[in-house]
């Protein structure tokens, strides 16, 4: 019997990634294409230009399929994962009526106002891509969070008319919903021509991107957390029920039907800040890294390894994108002196991510009444040994990374494998497709240092917020 293959689609804030896996979770080939820069028509509005979501998937898919050396007849399904909290407005035929909204757009957090008569449907990003791939007007229930008329207990649209009035969206403007692991539809001839995917291939529902990533890391059990290093950096833990009235725990739909995940508070533009610093250094630095056979991030990491824990007193606050309810907030770097180099700045940014997530997970675990025993780090930043060690030292528990750190693509493939019967359930699929690469053990000296630094670090904004509120009047 020949090997079977599964396609995982992972479209995030910055790029579309298409991966083909074998049934053991090994990456066979992949394709990637960057999304275009956002359109920013006015403060608070963040739109995706043109048909960027779909076009990026098509280009990435063709790259991936060109790299595939197996028999396309052995590809059995596609798992679809897209970025959460986004919104698309569609015409009656399912094409875009206006630019799609990023999760950073303030309008996704407000009730819908029907000012464009061309808008027939309002969907999450996954609904739009589902329609482009299959022609169906369906979507996964598990990507509907926030301002939608959703019943989180029944995993379906609400039965309460008041829920629709509250968000300004009537039921007839919404797609039908299916559960994660269910088949949404099948690749149409038109979509096959645009992507290179085999026509007739089943497209399988997943969940919101963070939950899919959690599944792809094998994050299970109440003493394990997964930290997702993305444009939005956050942590998640497996949950038993949809909690209400919590302060530091955000219950979400899991990628496993009728289960939940608990999200922590997060960092807006978390790993984006790393890219920002790299780009600030300019093309000459990137070229210098290439001449050494390294990426700019790898060269920066080498320089950062020369700086001690605490970056000789340089501390970074990662408010590079202010929340809607505190628009005055700005990023901060405090504590410069003559010792500081590029490496110190870079290490300070990495430490800021780890320290901020430590605070968020402390708050989360305190509210849940649990003690963490292991953290799984996923995303491109987990490739850095330095970053992994900083996490282990800040958290004082082992920090683990998996063989596949693009976990959303693998989570998509897991859903698709279950849907077509390769595995009997999600637990069996995870056991067969997710593998640990290595683990980082805390260093006692740095653990002690970071434990003393954490309360100082988390107190910074209590002293700087008043200044930023005053300066916001001049600089916003």
> Where exactly are the structural domains of the chain?
5-205, 218-476
Contact 175, 140 (CB under 8 A): no
Alpha carbon 364 to chain centroid, angstroms: 19
Q: What digits encode the pLDDT tens for the residues 152-202?
A: 999 999 999 999 999 999 999 999 999 999 999 999 999 999 999 999 999
pLDDT at 460 over 90: yes
Check: CB of residue 204 under 8 Å from CB of residue 419.
yes
The answer to whether the CB of 89 falls within 8 A of the CB of 122 is yes
**For domain 5-205, which architecture applies?**
2-Layer Sandwich (3.30)
Please, how many CA atoms are within 13 Å of residue 330, restricted to the half-sphere of its CB?
15
- The reply to whether domains 5-205 and 218-476 share a CATH topology is yes
- List alpha helices for 369-425, DSSP H: 385-395, 407-419
pTM: predicted TM-score of the whole model, two decimal places: 0.86
Q: What is the overall mean pLDDT for the chain? A: 95
For residue range 136-154, what is the model confidence (pLDDT) as tens digits?
Answer: 999 999 999 889 999 999 9
Instruction: Return d(Cα 87, Cα 22) in angstroms, integer.
Output: 32
**Rounded to whole angstroms, how far apart are CA atoms 281 and 256?**
43
d(CA 146, CA 156): 14
For residues 4-16, give the mean pLDDT: 94
Mean pLDDT over 318-339 rounds to 94
Angstrom distances, CA of residue 5 to CA of 28, 46, 69, 201, 386: 9, 36, 11, 12, 34
> Rounded to whole angstroms, how far apart are CA atoms 302 and 426?
39
291-312: pLDDT as tens digits: 999 999 999 999 999 999 999 9
Q: What is the pLDDT of residues 15-35, one digit of tens each?
A: 999 999 999 999 999 999 999
Q: In this model, does residue 1 exceed pLDDT 80? A: no
Residue 6 backbone phi and psi in degrees, to 5? -130, 135
> Does domain 218-476 fall into CATH 3.30.420.40?
yes
Q: Does the pLDDT of residue 40 top 70, yes or no?
A: yes
Identify whether the C-beta of residue 235 lies closer than 8 Å to the C-beta of residue 370: no
Percent above pLDDT 90 for the chain: 91
Q: Which ranges of 197-322 does DSSP label H, i.e. alpha helix? A: 209-217, 272-281, 283-291, 296-304
Of the candidates 395, 375, 315, 386, the one whose C-alpha atom is nearest the C-alpha of residue 349 is 315
Mean pLDDT of 115-120: 97
């Amino acid at each position: 019997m020949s090997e079977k293959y599964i396609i995982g689609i992972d479209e995030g804030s910055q790029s579309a990634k298409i991966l083909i896996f074998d049934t053991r979770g090994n990456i066979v080939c992949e394709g990637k294409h960057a999304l275009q820069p956002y359109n920013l028509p006015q403060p608070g509005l963040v739109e995706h230009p043109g048909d960027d979501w779909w076009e990026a998937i098509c280009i990435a898919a063709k790259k991936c399929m060109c790299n595939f050396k197996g028999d396309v007849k052995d590809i059995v399904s596609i798992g679809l994962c897209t970025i959460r909290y986004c919104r698309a407005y569609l015409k009656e035929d399912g094409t875009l009526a206006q630019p799609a909204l990023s999760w950073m757009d303030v309008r996704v957090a407000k009730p819908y106002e029907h000012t464009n008569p061309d808008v027939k449907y309002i969907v999450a990003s996954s609904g739009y891509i589902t329609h482009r791939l299959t022609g169906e007007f369906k979507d996964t229930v598990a990507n509907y969070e926030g301002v939608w008329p959703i019943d989180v207990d029944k995993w379906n649209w609400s039965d309460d008319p008041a829920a629709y009035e509250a968000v300004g969206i009537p039921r007839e403007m919404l797609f039908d919903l299916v559960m994660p692991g269910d088949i949404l539809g099948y690749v149409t001839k038109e979509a096959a021509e645009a992507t290179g995917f085999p026509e007739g291939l089943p497209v399988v529902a997943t969940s919101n991107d963070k939950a899919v990533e959690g599944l792809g890391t094998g994050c299970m059990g109440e003493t394990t957390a997964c930290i997702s290093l993305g444009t939005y950096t956050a942590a998640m833990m497996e949950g038993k029920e949809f909690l209400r009235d919590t302060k530091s725990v955000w219950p979400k739909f899991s990628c496993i039907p009728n289960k939940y995940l608990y999200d922590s508070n997060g960092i807006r533009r978390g790993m984006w800040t790393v890219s920002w610093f790299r780009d600030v250094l300019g093309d000459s630095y990137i070229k210098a890294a290439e001449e050494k056979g390294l990426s700019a991030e790898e060269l920066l990491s080498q320089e950062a390894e020369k700086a001690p824990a605490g970056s000789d007193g340089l501390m970074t606050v990662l408010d590079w994108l202010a929340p809607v309810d505190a628009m005055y907030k700005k990023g901060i770097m405090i504590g410069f002196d003559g010792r500081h180099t590029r490496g110190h700045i870079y290490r300070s940014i990495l430490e800021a991510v780890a320290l901020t997530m430590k605070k968020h997970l402390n708050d989360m675990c305190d509210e849940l009444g649990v003690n963490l025993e292991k953290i799984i780090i996923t995303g491109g930043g987990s490739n850095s040994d330095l970053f992994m060690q900083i996490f282990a030292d800040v958290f004082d528990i082992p920090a683990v990374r998996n063989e596949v750190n693009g976990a959303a693509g693998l989570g998509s493939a897991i859903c698709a494998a279950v849907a077509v019967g390769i595995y009997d359930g999600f637990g069996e699929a995870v056991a067969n497709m997710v593998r640990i690469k290595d683990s980082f053990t805390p260093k006692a000296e740095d653990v002690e240092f970071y434990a003393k630094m954490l309360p100082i670090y988390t107190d910074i904004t209590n002293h700087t917020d008043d200044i930023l509120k005053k300066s916001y009047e001049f600089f916003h």
